[in-house]
Chains A and B, each alone.
Chain A
Amino acid sequence: MGVLDYVWAGIMAVIAGPAAFELFGIGIPLVGLMVLGGFILGIVGGATPGLAGPFLMAVSLPILLSTFGFSPDALLPVLGFLIGVMKGATVGGSVPAILFNTPGTPDAMLTTFDGYPMAQKGQAGKALRTAHFASVSGDTFSDLVLFTCAPFLAVMVEAYLGFGEKAALILLSLAFVAAVVGASPMKGMIAAFLGLFIATIGTGQDSYARLSLGTDVLSSGVPMITAVLGVLILGEILFAFEEMWRSRRVDKVSPTPIQRDQRLSWADRKRLMPFIGVSAAIGTVIGALPGIGSTLAATLGYSTGERMHKGPVAFGDGTPEGIAATEAANSSVSGANLIPVLSLGIPGNVGAVFLILAAESIGGFNPGPGVFRFTTEEVNPELVIAFGLFTAMMLANILNWMIGGRIMAACGVMARVPKQVLLPIVLLLTLTAIYVQETDFTVFYFAFAFGVLGYGMRKLKFPALPFVIAFILAGNLETAFRQAFAVSGGDPFFLFKSPLSLVFLAISVGVIVFFSLPRKPVNKAIEAEEGA
């Protein structure tokens, strides 16, 4: 098969794959329907303060796995749904930010700066249209960069990196994530090492399950989805419970007057394009780096837009350019942060973690450089899945262009759901989602244990993302270590033999040292991302 044959096979896997049902004799593709379902759920969830894309992906995953099973046929419907959620939540987050000055997702915080003043001036509709236009433009741009860059990067990694270099590359990624997420790189590194350590419990190559303390409950290892959901979701829920209990107040929402003309004209769109273009480029570059999330991209996009802006209404006073600069930047992160996932197998953010978990749970698709093997004599099914995934992403973008704005406008009501009512329901939902996966009550013990760990990490200002990414990558890292060591003939300096792995290790140390320097300013945007 040639390159174009693979692309075509991926497209056909989505549009001519299994049909969900028939309408007037025409089969409605299941993957397309899943993307649509995920997209709508994502917008609704994104528009609900307290929920976010990762929350929804986390609770959807066990249901999806139970529904579609663990065969390779399940890959595209499950991943398509999760992609839909990710994209929907990105645009949905701006709804409560604009209407009620409450960001639905952390990266929409800067949207409140101009969105809410516009809503107060009666221009809520125009603000929502601006957010949607900027968001979907940035997202589409970012996806196009992903489609072109990820295969090339993967081919280069596969061609030039051996076992030792791959191990060094994983270390570099972990060091980078640990250094940039949170205010203290050393705490990030401790979190990453803790993730590696916990992942080793009950695993290994020997007949005895290491670190299991001789118990049955630990000898089969720590359930991955439960651990990730515990640290990321339950930890956040416990933290939010305590915060709400301390404050014990409900945000009151007051109605706003509405102006008649809410359209976003072509002239308006033309005026916004430079801001969208610059922010989309910033968001794409930021998104391609593991660990740096959409909140930082939004901050940089906003500040760059502010410098570019020469209009009558200043940034922060309710100008559409401010919304466009923020939304284009934070939305363009979502596509680009799949570049390290698909080309290196390294999740760069929480959303990508759930994509990797889905792929690992189902099997038959191992995100990493091996995916992009353009074999001509025999079909590489993983490559077909990858291009199917790209097709699903483009499908989500098309849906976003066509109906995203209307769904956003309808979701304003979600911001009125009180958090103190919503989060206990999310707690039960998360526990149920964990249980249906394992069907064993002891999984609650793991869930609570990791929930407490996640809560403790938030209270003590340890970033959770390095822990989760290290936990997921531990198996790959250990395998790479063992293989590199065996290939080197038992050389203890196997990691330092190749110039490329030396470069990776030097950069790892450099990144940690650079971000540990006392002159590093504390970035509120990064802290907000870590809190997400």
Chain B
Amino acid sequence: MLSRRNEVWIALLCIVAALVTAMVWVPLDSETPPIYTFRRQINIGDAMLPLVSATGIAICAVIHLLLTLRREPATERSAPLDIHTGSFFLPFAAIMLVSCMLMYWAGPIALALFGPTGEEAVTYRQMRAAFPWKYIGYGLGGFTMVFGVTSLIEGRISASRALTSMLAVLALILVFDVPFDTILLPPNGDY
């Protein structure tokens, strides 16, 4: 359990979110209400389960709030999220963003720059299952992801980790792509 103060905030947040959902989102974004009559037959509508779920969250959060207010102060004092969380997740998110962008765009850009030239333009869709184009995005993006995250966690950059990352990406290509004709590595299914 977290500290009492944190638990109270969590409970309050859950109550507000659940009430807004139950009173605004669910009624406005469902075609049929919780109970409706159609051809003189009473039916359960599409709004029923989400409404029950949201109400359930609100009720449980209220009980949790009351139980938390009654309990002794907890032993765990540290906040669940602190400045260190942001210090890690900001660079982590940047690495993931760059990795995904590389994964998505590197193949088509490489094809545009270095692909076969001729009278008819070749699209990436035509080449998405052809070596080496199909591996460029996954290879570059995957390497950046594995190497970047490993280096971030260790706080240093090393050649051995770069080699390990390359081998890992190669191993995943061997597992996912080489034995199977039907499987498309990311991002080739999108083109």
Query: A residues touching B (Cβ–Cβ < 8 Å)?
Result: 63, 66-67, 183-184, 186-187, 189-190, 193-194, 196-197, 200, 204-208, 210-214, 241-242, 244-246, 248, 420-421, 423-425, 427-429, 431-432, 435-436, 438-441, 444, 448, 459-461, 474, 477-478, 481-482, 485-486, 489-490, 492, 516, 518, 522
Contacts and interface: CB of A to CB of B under 8 A. Distances in A.
A435 B186 contact: yes
A516 B50 contact: no
B168 A425 contact: yes
Q: Is the interface of B mostly helix, strand, loop or mixed?
A: helix
Contacts of B1: 183-184, 461, 522
Given A435-B186, A485-B42, 20 more contacts: A63-B175, A66-B183, A186-B61, A190-B57, A193-B53, A194-B53, A196-B49, A196-B52, A197-B49, A207-B31, A210-B30, A210-B47, A211-B25, A211-B26, A424-B146, A424-B165, A427-B145, A440-B189, A441-B186, A461-B80
A461 B29 CA distance: 31
12 contacts: A186-B67, A194-B57, A206-B30, A211-B30, A420-B153, A424-B145, A424-B149, A440-B190, A441-B190, A478-B48, A490-B43, A518-B67
B81 interface: yes
Contacts of B41: 486, 490
B108 to A, nearest CB: 13
The 8 lowest CB-CB distance pairs between A and B, nearest first, are A439-B189, A490-B42, A197-B53, A204-B46, A206-B31, A186-B64, A193-B56, A424-B149
A436 B176 contact: yes
Contacts of A518: 67, 70-71
Contacts of A66: 180, 182-183
Nearest to A205: B46
Contact of B88 (A184, A242, A460): A242
A63 B182 CA distance: 11
Contacts, number: 184
B88 A429 contact: no
Given A242-B89, A461-B2, A193 B60 contact: yes
A51 B131 CA distance: 32
Contacts of B186: 431-432, 435-436, 441, 444
A441 B128 CA distance: 15
- Residue picked from B29, B54, B100, most chain A C-beta under 10 Å: B29
Contacts of A63: 175-176, 180, 183
- Residue picked from A245, A424, A435, most chain B C-beta under 10 Å: A424
Contacts of A207: 31
- Residue picked from B41, B50, B146, B147, most chain A C-beta under 10 Å: B50
A180 B185 CA distance: 40
B150 A424 contact: yes
B39 interface: no
B153 A245 contact: yes
A190 B60 contact: yes
Contact of B21 (A197, A241, A474): A197
A432 B100 CA distance: 12
Contact of B80 (A193, A439, A460, A482): A460
Contacts of B21: 197
B184 A436 contact: yes
B34 to A, nearest CB: 10
A421 B150 contact: yes
Nearest to A462: B10
A425 B84 CA distance: 23
A77 B160 CA distance: 38
A210 B31 contact: yes
